[in-house]
């Protein structure tokens, strides 16, 4: 059993996936894999630098501070100081959300590598293992056939913006990013199951329990 969880920004996909992992599902987070694995690959960093230049990397001062505080080696691996500056994901996100062609280019670079990581994880696991995979672009990329069940976590636009503001995203920027996504109504119509997450954690927890109960008997 492989469950694909999607939804809009700030709707609570990660919270729902965590609740499923607490019920015995192995969890894969597409965004986390991109952050921690794909965007750390030398070939990916080189392609991003060639496409966008140093504008989406930290300044030399920022890079030295972040590398020292994290204990991580600088990204890039060349003798050139500029090429060793770590990628600034916030700057990269601002760039690709501002221009559709840049976003599509980055997705074409990242997604094939992401899918390979998924495949490796799934093949290495016991056959009976149940999975929940968080995929923000599940429907946009036509990945429905990867999953036995697709679940969309949804909430009101006001709640989405409020949650994104709590993460430090200004309201105007949150609105812009939500607007650029596939409409939530489209995701709701295409999902096998919907979890409405405008209430508290207890409400979402109850819905998760109701979803999982029949799966235990399947």
Q: State the binding site for ATP.
A: 10-15
84/75 Cα distance (integer angstroms): 5
Say which DSSP state 125 is in. Answer: S
Mark the binding-site residues, compressed into ranges: 10-15
The token duo for 161 is: 């913006």
Q: Are strands 2-7 and 149-154 parallel, antiparallel or unpaired?
A: parallel
Please, which residues have CB within 8 angstroms of residue 126's CB and are 6 or more apart in sequence? none
Phi, psi of 161, deg, nearest 5: -65, -40
Q: How far is CA 34 from CA 24, 110, 118, 193, in A?
A: 24, 7, 11, 26
């Amino acid at each position: 059993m492989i469950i694909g969880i999607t939804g809009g920004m700030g709707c609570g996909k990660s919270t729902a996936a965590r609740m499923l992992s607490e019920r015995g599902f192995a969890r894969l987070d597409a965004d986390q894999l991109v952050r921690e694995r794909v965007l750390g690959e030398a070939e990916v960093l080189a392609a991003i630098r060639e496409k966008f230049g140093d504008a989406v990397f930290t300044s030399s001062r920022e890079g030295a501070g972040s590398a020292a505080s994290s204990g991580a080696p600088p990204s890039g691996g060349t003798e050139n100081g500029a090429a060793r500056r770590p990628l600034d994901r916030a700057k990269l996100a601002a760039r690709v959300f501002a221009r559709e062609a840049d976003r599509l280019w980055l997705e074409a670079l990242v997604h094939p590598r992401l899918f390979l990581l998924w495949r490796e994880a799934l093949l290495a696991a016991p056959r009976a293992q149940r999975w929940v995979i968080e995929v923000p672009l599940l429907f946009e990329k036509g990945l429905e056939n990867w999953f036995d069940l697709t679940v969309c976590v949804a909430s009101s636009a006001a709640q989405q913006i409020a949650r994104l503001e709590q993460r430090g995203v200004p309201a105007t920027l949150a609105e812009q990013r939500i607007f650029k996504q596939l409409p939530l109504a489209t995701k709701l119509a295409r999902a096998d199951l919907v979890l409405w997450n405008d209430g508290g954690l207890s409400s979402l927890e109850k819905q998760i329990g109701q979803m999982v109960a029949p799966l235990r008997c399947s």
